[in-house]
A and B are shown apart, each in its own frame.
Chain A
């Protein structure tokens, strides 16, 4: 098990795309902080960037990597190795390598330049998003046999979480202005890890104006600290559940 994770991890870390991703993140962090004097503004810019870039890179890269590993998985399956071990090591390899890339490119420079708790929280949120979108990518890859279709599904899922979800929520709100939807909204926010990560950080930064509707409700409902804990918990579930379903599917899959 450990060995397989190590092999997967080394293979992914050496990938040029992952290297480019690290450099891109580092470039963004450094340039944002050299342009902005105000640390909070810098954090916000970075936050908005990672909420889009991290999920996109993680989901697309992981989907493609999962498809490219099919033959490797087949080779391992002809050896006495559990299916669970193979899939788990793919998941750990991908999320480990991409988290490392994220931390090296963004987390460490951010914590170094910024030296605030928020920086740590942003890094943590980035790692969460990485793991979550790797899990979603694996689920998409295991469910669709065709590579092009699988990558398409992944991109659509990213669009849904990053762009469409907020639109749908707003649409629902405007359709039912007379109903007390606050509690429902808290529940609905749980359905989107990107929103959860955003709210978690904005709660910490305490910028009400930018929190948006769901964020404001969240704070009112849970308070700052409990709100952060709840979003943590929900994010953990977001990482575990898609992976669990992908594993179940992989165990029954014909290769």
Chain B
């Protein structure tokens, strides 16, 4: 469902992505990990068409996306730092998006209920805390029942309760055969969720493997230990 091949991207003098190729199919939950500034967010943004690659192709649902826009009906995106018009209330933002997305007849409001966002619908976006803002972003990502979900640091600013709610939701949606791409620094958060790991360093994909395979290779059960092992071995 998601296929990128030979992506190059340069920001000024900095080569952010070089020859990145990766594919992932229905039901996969991929953790995209790597040190800060290794190009994770840039890769995600090329999938969304926010960053236009210098070379290479991106295919979503078998279709090349080159500056098209309709394919984004299939994607739900939760940004690392979501910011919204400060004057608008939470309810207005949600209503606006539902209003814009006539293609989705019945929005998935489960997270809006579970994260208790409906109770604070009248709060202005400008007054929200970082965590609440993230809850809004999460709810929006799942709102239109997309086939592909891209979550950038989904649990970084959430309290433990909300974080669990979100993880339960992710688990549930994986069961429905949706494709997930999650970046996170807190690897323990991803334990038990992810089926594949993509490890990036300096704009390159170092490896893309199944979690089970990695576990047998390293002899560690927990994801954070697995990755730590690999990073140490790399040095």
**A-to-B contact residues, CB < 8 Å:** 3-4, 7, 11, 14-15, 68-69, 71-72, 74-75, 77-83, 251-252, 254-255
* A83→B69 contact, CB < 8 A: yes
A83 — which chain B residues lie within 8 A by C-beta? Answer: 69
Contact with A along B103-139 (1 / 0, CB 8 A): 1000000000000000000000000000000000000
**Other A-B pairs beyond A75-B82, A79-B97, A82-B69, 15, CB < 8 Å:** A3-B100, A68-B86, A69-B85, A71-B81, A72-B83, A74-B50, A74-B79, A75-B79, A77-B50, A78-B76, A78-B77, A254-B11, A255-B45, A255-B50, A255-B51
CA distance A74 to B150 in the complex (A): 14
Closest Cβ of chain B: how far from A11's Cβ, in Å? 5
Asked if B91 CB lies within 8 Å of chain A CBs, one says: no
Instruction: Give CA–CA (A3, B73) in the complex, Å.
Output: 18
Question: In the assembled complex, which residues on chain A have CB atoms less than 8 Å from the CB atom of B81?
Answer: 71
Pick from B48, B67, B84: contact of A78, CB below 8 A.
B48
Q: A11-B87, A75-B79 are in contact. Are A252 and B73 (CB under 8 A)?
A: no
Say yes or no: B84 contacts A254, CB within 8 Å.
Answer: no
> A252–B71 Cα gap in the complex (Å)?
18
Q: Which of A4, A75, A80, A254 interacts with B73 by CB under 8 Å?
A: A80
- Of the candidates B11, B67, B85, B99, the one whose C-beta lies within 8 Å of that of A72 is B85
**A-B pairs with beta carbons under 8 Å apart, 20 shown:** A3-B96, A7-B85, A15-B87, A68-B86, A71-B81, A74-B50, A74-B79, A75-B79, A75-B140, A77-B49, A78-B48, A78-B75, A78-B77, A79-B97, A80-B70, A83-B69, A251-B67, A252-B52, A254-B52, A255-B50
Judge if B59 is at the interface, Cβ distance under 8 Å.
no
Q: A11, B71: Cβ atoms under 8 Å?
A: no
